[in-house]
Amino acid sequence: MEKPYTNHKNMKLILFGILFIQCILSILVGVKNISFLHPSFEDMEIIFISRFPRLVSILVAGCSLSMTGLIMQTITKNKFVSPTTAGTADWARLGILIAMLFFGNSSTMVKMLVAFVSCMFGSFLFIRLLSKIRIRNGILIPLIGLMMGNVVEAASTFFAYRFDLIQNMSSWMQGSFSLILKGRYELLYVGIPFLILGYLYADKFTIAGMGKDFSMNLGLNHEQIVNLGLVLVSVITSVVTVTVGGLPFLDLIIPNIMSMIKGDNLKNSLLDTALLGANFILFCDILGRVLIYPYEIPIGMMISVTGSAVFLIMVLKGAKK
Protein backbone atom coordinates (compact mmCIF):
# COMPACT_ATOMS: atom_id res chain seq x y z
CA MET A 1 0.00 0.00 0.00
CA GLU A 2 1.40 3.38 -1.01
CA LYS A 3 1.99 5.82 1.81
CA PRO A 4 -0.17 8.97 1.71
CA TYR A 5 2.73 11.37 1.61
CA THR A 6 4.25 9.69 -1.44
CA ASN A 7 1.31 10.63 -3.66
CA HIS A 8 2.51 14.01 -5.00
CA LYS A 9 1.25 14.38 -8.55
CA ASN A 10 2.07 18.08 -8.62
CA MET A 11 5.55 17.74 -7.16
CA LYS A 12 7.31 18.38 -10.47
CA LEU A 13 5.23 21.52 -11.08
CA ILE A 14 6.02 22.80 -7.58
CA LEU A 15 9.74 22.13 -8.00
CA PHE A 16 9.75 23.76 -11.45
CA GLY A 17 7.90 26.80 -10.06
CA ILE A 18 10.33 27.25 -7.16
CA LEU A 19 13.26 26.74 -9.52
CA PHE A 20 11.94 29.41 -11.92
CA ILE A 21 11.63 31.96 -9.10
CA GLN A 22 15.12 31.17 -7.82
CA CYS A 23 16.58 31.46 -11.33
CA ILE A 24 15.25 35.02 -11.61
CA LEU A 25 16.62 35.85 -8.14
CA SER A 26 19.98 34.34 -9.07
CA ILE A 27 20.28 36.62 -12.10
CA LEU A 28 19.25 39.71 -10.12
CA VAL A 29 21.30 39.13 -6.96
CA GLY A 30 24.85 40.47 -7.07
CA VAL A 31 27.12 43.39 -6.28
CA LYS A 32 25.94 45.23 -9.40
CA ASN A 33 22.23 46.03 -9.35
CA ILE A 34 20.48 45.04 -12.56
CA SER A 35 17.22 46.39 -13.92
CA PHE A 36 15.23 43.31 -14.98
CA LEU A 37 12.51 45.20 -16.88
CA HIS A 38 14.71 47.82 -18.58
CA PRO A 39 18.28 46.47 -18.61
CA SER A 40 21.05 48.65 -19.98
CA PHE A 41 23.81 47.44 -22.30
CA GLU A 42 26.11 47.02 -19.29
CA ASP A 43 23.43 45.01 -17.50
CA MET A 44 23.10 42.69 -20.50
CA GLU A 45 26.87 42.17 -20.58
CA ILE A 46 26.91 41.21 -16.91
CA ILE A 47 23.99 38.83 -17.41
CA PHE A 48 25.42 36.98 -20.42
CA ILE A 49 29.08 36.98 -19.39
CA SER A 50 28.74 36.26 -15.68
CA ARG A 51 25.32 35.59 -14.19
CA PHE A 52 23.74 33.41 -16.85
CA PRO A 53 26.81 31.10 -17.11
CA ARG A 54 26.83 30.92 -13.31
CA LEU A 55 23.14 30.00 -13.26
CA VAL A 56 23.57 27.31 -15.91
CA SER A 57 26.57 25.81 -14.10
CA ILE A 58 24.63 25.73 -10.81
CA LEU A 59 21.67 23.96 -12.42
CA VAL A 60 23.83 21.40 -14.24
CA ALA A 61 25.99 20.71 -11.17
CA GLY A 62 22.97 20.37 -8.86
CA CYS A 63 21.10 18.02 -11.18
CA SER A 64 24.21 15.99 -11.99
CA LEU A 65 25.47 15.36 -8.46
CA SER A 66 21.99 14.57 -7.12
CA MET A 67 21.46 11.96 -9.83
CA THR A 68 24.90 10.40 -9.28
CA GLY A 69 24.11 10.00 -5.60
CA LEU A 70 20.81 8.29 -6.40
CA ILE A 71 22.45 5.94 -8.90
CA MET A 72 25.24 5.09 -6.45
CA GLN A 73 22.77 4.35 -3.65
CA THR A 74 20.68 2.16 -5.94
CA ILE A 75 23.65 0.14 -7.18
CA THR A 76 25.12 -0.45 -3.70
CA LYS A 77 21.71 -0.89 -1.98
CA ASN A 78 22.81 1.52 0.74
CA LYS A 79 21.31 4.92 1.54
CA PHE A 80 24.55 6.24 3.04
CA VAL A 81 26.67 5.66 -0.08
CA SER A 82 27.37 8.51 -2.48
CA PRO A 83 30.36 9.80 -4.47
CA THR A 84 31.25 11.79 -1.34
CA THR A 85 31.14 8.91 1.15
CA ALA A 86 32.54 6.37 -1.33
CA GLY A 87 35.69 8.48 -1.78
CA THR A 88 35.02 9.22 -5.46
CA ALA A 89 35.49 12.97 -4.92
CA ASP A 90 38.81 12.30 -3.16
CA TRP A 91 40.00 10.23 -6.11
CA ALA A 92 39.04 13.17 -8.34
CA ARG A 93 41.24 15.37 -6.14
CA LEU A 94 44.13 12.95 -6.66
CA GLY A 95 43.53 12.97 -10.41
CA ILE A 96 43.64 16.78 -10.48
CA LEU A 97 46.92 16.70 -8.56
CA ILE A 98 48.41 14.22 -11.04
CA ALA A 99 47.27 16.42 -13.92
CA MET A 100 48.87 19.47 -12.29
CA LEU A 101 52.14 17.59 -11.76
CA PHE A 102 52.51 15.94 -15.17
CA PHE A 103 50.22 18.01 -17.44
CA GLY A 104 50.53 21.43 -15.84
CA ASN A 105 50.27 23.41 -19.07
CA SER A 106 47.53 21.30 -20.61
CA SER A 107 43.88 22.23 -21.11
CA THR A 108 41.05 21.74 -18.63
CA MET A 109 39.77 18.84 -20.74
CA VAL A 110 43.00 16.93 -20.13
CA LYS A 111 42.70 17.55 -16.38
CA MET A 112 39.13 16.28 -16.54
CA LEU A 113 40.21 13.10 -18.34
CA VAL A 114 42.92 12.40 -15.75
CA ALA A 115 40.42 13.03 -12.94
CA PHE A 116 37.94 10.70 -14.67
CA VAL A 117 40.49 7.87 -14.87
CA SER A 118 41.29 8.38 -11.19
CA CYS A 119 37.57 8.39 -10.27
CA MET A 120 37.00 5.23 -12.28
CA PHE A 121 39.85 3.43 -10.52
CA GLY A 122 38.58 4.50 -7.11
CA SER A 123 34.97 3.55 -7.85
CA PHE A 124 35.85 0.09 -9.12
CA LEU A 125 38.19 -0.44 -6.18
CA PHE A 126 35.37 0.50 -3.79
CA ILE A 127 32.90 -1.89 -5.43
CA ARG A 128 35.56 -4.61 -5.43
CA LEU A 129 36.11 -4.16 -1.70
CA LEU A 130 32.36 -4.36 -1.08
CA SER A 131 32.18 -7.68 -2.94
CA LYS A 132 34.79 -9.09 -0.54
CA ILE A 133 32.90 -8.09 2.61
CA ARG A 134 30.63 -10.77 4.01
CA ILE A 135 28.87 -8.67 6.66
CA ARG A 136 26.47 -6.27 4.95
CA ASN A 137 26.29 -3.66 7.69
CA GLY A 138 24.57 -0.48 6.51
CA ILE A 139 27.01 1.77 8.35
CA LEU A 140 30.15 -0.26 7.61
CA ILE A 141 29.96 0.24 3.85
CA PRO A 142 30.13 4.08 3.81
CA LEU A 143 32.73 3.96 6.58
CA ILE A 144 34.96 1.91 4.29
CA GLY A 145 34.50 4.50 1.56
CA LEU A 146 35.24 7.37 3.94
CA MET A 147 38.38 5.68 5.27
CA MET A 148 39.62 4.92 1.78
CA GLY A 149 38.85 8.50 0.73
CA ASN A 150 40.76 9.87 3.72
CA VAL A 151 43.79 7.78 2.80
CA VAL A 152 43.66 9.10 -0.78
CA GLU A 153 43.19 12.67 0.49
CA ALA A 154 46.18 12.28 2.83
CA ALA A 155 48.31 11.03 -0.06
CA SER A 156 47.16 13.94 -2.23
CA THR A 157 47.97 16.44 0.52
CA PHE A 158 51.41 14.92 1.05
CA PHE A 159 52.40 15.13 -2.61
CA ALA A 160 50.84 18.58 -2.94
CA TYR A 161 52.96 19.72 0.02
CA ARG A 162 56.02 17.97 -1.41
CA PHE A 163 55.73 19.80 -4.75
CA ASP A 164 54.48 23.11 -3.30
CA LEU A 165 50.95 22.79 -4.71
CA ILE A 166 48.94 23.10 -1.49
CA GLN A 167 47.51 26.51 -2.35
CA ASN A 168 46.72 25.45 -5.91
CA MET A 169 44.88 22.35 -4.69
CA SER A 170 42.99 24.25 -1.99
CA SER A 171 41.78 26.92 -4.40
CA TRP A 172 40.89 24.33 -7.04
CA MET A 173 38.90 22.07 -4.67
CA GLN A 174 37.04 24.84 -2.87
CA GLY A 175 33.53 24.68 -4.27
CA SER A 176 32.66 28.10 -5.65
CA PHE A 177 30.73 29.58 -8.56
CA SER A 178 32.19 33.07 -8.13
CA LEU A 179 34.78 32.52 -10.87
CA ILE A 180 32.33 31.00 -13.35
CA LEU A 181 32.28 33.16 -16.48
CA LYS A 182 31.52 32.68 -20.14
CA GLY A 183 34.13 30.31 -21.56
CA ARG A 184 34.90 28.65 -18.20
CA TYR A 185 31.84 26.49 -17.57
CA GLU A 186 31.08 24.82 -20.89
CA LEU A 187 32.91 21.64 -19.82
CA LEU A 188 29.86 20.86 -17.67
CA TYR A 189 27.94 20.14 -20.87
CA VAL A 190 30.01 16.95 -21.20
CA GLY A 191 27.98 15.43 -18.37
CA ILE A 192 24.55 16.09 -19.91
CA PRO A 193 24.59 13.08 -22.33
CA PHE A 194 25.55 10.87 -19.39
CA LEU A 195 22.61 12.23 -17.40
CA ILE A 196 20.29 11.28 -20.26
CA LEU A 197 21.91 7.83 -20.43
CA GLY A 198 21.36 7.44 -16.68
CA TYR A 199 17.66 8.21 -17.11
CA LEU A 200 17.32 5.73 -19.99
CA TYR A 201 18.95 2.98 -17.91
CA ALA A 202 17.12 3.87 -14.69
CA ASP A 203 14.98 0.72 -14.69
CA LYS A 204 18.03 -1.48 -15.20
CA PHE A 205 19.86 0.24 -12.34
CA THR A 206 16.85 -0.44 -10.12
CA ILE A 207 16.89 -4.13 -11.05
CA ALA A 208 20.66 -4.33 -10.56
CA GLY A 209 20.21 -2.88 -7.09
CA MET A 210 18.03 -5.88 -6.15
CA GLY A 211 21.00 -8.21 -6.34
CA LYS A 212 23.02 -10.22 -8.81
CA ASP A 213 20.87 -13.36 -8.69
CA PHE A 214 17.64 -11.42 -9.16
CA SER A 215 19.13 -9.52 -12.11
CA MET A 216 20.37 -12.68 -13.79
CA ASN A 217 16.95 -14.32 -13.42
CA LEU A 218 15.49 -11.42 -15.39
CA GLY A 219 18.15 -11.78 -18.08
CA LEU A 220 20.11 -8.69 -17.05
CA ASN A 221 23.89 -8.57 -17.10
CA HIS A 222 24.39 -7.35 -13.53
CA GLU A 223 28.11 -6.63 -13.79
CA GLN A 224 27.72 -4.70 -17.03
CA ILE A 225 24.97 -2.47 -15.60
CA VAL A 226 26.95 -1.79 -12.40
CA ASN A 227 30.01 -0.88 -14.46
CA LEU A 228 27.91 1.48 -16.58
CA GLY A 229 26.61 3.15 -13.43
CA LEU A 230 30.15 3.60 -12.13
CA VAL A 231 31.24 5.13 -15.44
CA LEU A 232 28.36 7.62 -15.29
CA VAL A 233 29.15 8.54 -11.69
CA SER A 234 32.88 8.92 -12.43
CA VAL A 235 32.39 11.12 -15.50
CA ILE A 236 29.93 13.46 -13.82
CA THR A 237 31.93 13.69 -10.58
CA SER A 238 35.17 14.47 -12.42
CA VAL A 239 33.51 17.09 -14.67
CA VAL A 240 31.85 18.91 -11.77
CA THR A 241 34.97 18.73 -9.57
CA VAL A 242 37.27 20.10 -12.27
CA THR A 243 34.86 22.88 -13.25
CA VAL A 244 33.34 23.96 -9.94
CA GLY A 245 35.28 22.25 -7.15
CA GLY A 246 34.11 20.15 -4.23
CA LEU A 247 30.39 20.19 -3.37
CA PRO A 248 30.23 17.84 -0.37
CA PHE A 249 27.21 15.78 0.71
CA LEU A 250 24.84 17.17 -1.92
CA ASP A 251 24.84 13.73 -3.55
CA LEU A 252 23.99 12.13 -0.18
CA ILE A 253 21.24 14.38 1.16
CA ILE A 254 19.05 15.02 -1.88
CA PRO A 255 18.55 11.36 -2.93
CA ASN A 256 17.64 10.43 0.65
CA ILE A 257 15.05 13.20 0.89
CA MET A 258 13.47 12.18 -2.40
CA SER A 259 13.58 8.49 -1.46
CA MET A 260 11.59 9.29 1.70
CA ILE A 261 8.98 11.06 -0.42
CA LYS A 262 8.70 8.91 -3.56
CA GLY A 263 10.22 5.54 -2.69
CA ASP A 264 13.07 3.58 -4.23
CA ASN A 265 12.01 3.32 -7.87
CA LEU A 266 14.87 5.06 -9.64
CA LYS A 267 13.03 6.09 -12.79
CA ASN A 268 10.05 7.53 -10.88
CA SER A 269 12.24 9.69 -8.67
CA LEU A 270 15.20 10.55 -10.92
CA LEU A 271 13.79 13.75 -12.45
CA ASP A 272 12.40 14.92 -9.11
CA THR A 273 15.78 14.28 -7.49
CA ALA A 274 17.51 16.36 -10.16
CA LEU A 275 15.03 19.23 -9.69
CA LEU A 276 15.34 19.13 -5.90
CA GLY A 277 19.15 19.11 -6.18
CA ALA A 278 19.08 22.12 -8.50
CA ASN A 279 16.73 23.97 -6.13
CA PHE A 280 18.85 23.16 -3.09
CA ILE A 281 22.18 24.23 -4.56
CA LEU A 282 20.63 27.37 -6.07
CA PHE A 283 19.14 28.27 -2.68
CA CYS A 284 22.53 27.80 -0.99
CA ASP A 285 24.23 29.92 -3.66
CA ILE A 286 21.76 32.80 -3.33
CA LEU A 287 21.97 32.61 0.47
CA GLY A 288 25.76 32.69 0.33
CA ARG A 289 25.62 35.84 -1.80
CA VAL A 290 23.28 37.80 0.49
CA LEU A 291 24.40 36.82 4.02
CA ILE A 292 27.55 38.98 4.03
CA TYR A 293 26.70 41.17 1.03
CA PRO A 294 28.61 42.48 -0.95
CA TYR A 295 31.00 39.62 -0.13
CA GLU A 296 30.24 35.97 -0.83
CA ILE A 297 30.40 32.72 1.12
CA PRO A 298 31.71 29.80 -1.00
CA ILE A 299 28.99 27.40 -2.07
CA GLY A 300 30.93 24.42 -0.69
CA MET A 301 30.76 25.88 2.81
CA MET A 302 27.07 26.75 2.46
CA ILE A 303 26.20 23.22 1.31
CA SER A 304 28.25 21.68 4.13
CA VAL A 305 26.50 23.74 6.84
CA THR A 306 22.98 23.61 5.40
CA GLY A 307 23.27 19.99 4.28
CA SER A 308 24.63 18.82 7.63
CA ALA A 309 21.65 20.40 9.42
CA VAL A 310 19.17 18.80 6.99
CA PHE A 311 20.83 15.39 7.25
CA LEU A 312 20.89 15.56 11.06
CA ILE A 313 17.16 16.33 11.10
CA MET A 314 16.54 13.34 8.79
CA VAL A 315 18.56 11.01 11.04
CA LEU A 316 16.77 12.20 14.20
CA LYS A 317 13.35 11.80 12.58
CA GLY A 318 14.29 8.33 11.39
CA ALA A 319 15.43 7.38 14.88
CA LYS A 320 12.05 8.36 16.38
CA LYS A 321 10.10 6.05 14.04
For each of the domains in the chain, give its residue range(s) and CATH number, in order of start: 8-320 (1.10.3470.10)
Does 142 score more than 80 pLDDT?
A: no
Q: In the prediction, which pLDDT does 136 show?
A: 60
Does 41 score more than 60 pLDDT?
A: yes
Rounded CA separation 207/209 (Å):
5
Q: List, in order, residues 6 or more apart from 57 with CB less than 8 Å away.
A: 177, 180, 185, 188, 243, 244
- Kindly report, residue by residue over 199-241, the tens digit of the pLDDT: 888 888 888 777 777 777 777 787 888 888 888 888 888 888 8
In this prediction, residue 74 has a pLDDT band, given cuts at 50, 70 and 90, of: confident
Does 177 score more than 50 pLDDT?
A: yes
Does 102 score more than 50 pLDDT?
A: yes
For range 131-136, the mean pLDDT: 67
Does 7 score more than 70 pLDDT?
A: no
Q: What is the radius of gyration, based on Cα positions, of the chain?
A: 20
pTM value?
0.81
In this prediction, residue 320 has a pLDDT band, given cuts at 50, 70 and 90, of: low
For range 262-277, the mean pLDDT: 80
* Packing angle of the helix pair 222-243, 52-76 (nearest 10 deg): 150
Q: In the prediction, which pLDDT does 5 show?
A: 43
149, 58, 103, 115: CA torsion to nearest 10:
30
Does 168 score more than 80 pLDDT?
A: no
Q: In the prediction, which pLDDT does 2 show?
A: 42
In this prediction, residue 173 has a pLDDT band, given cuts at 50, 70 and 90, of: low
Q: In the prediction, which pLDDT does 6 show?
A: 44
Q: Residue 102 CB: number of other CB atoms within 10 A? A: 10
Query: Burial of 78 by CB count in 10 Å (0-12 exposed, 13-18 middle, 19+ buried)?
Result: buried
As a whole number of Å, the end-to-end CA separation of the chain is 18
For range 52-68, the mean pLDDT: 86
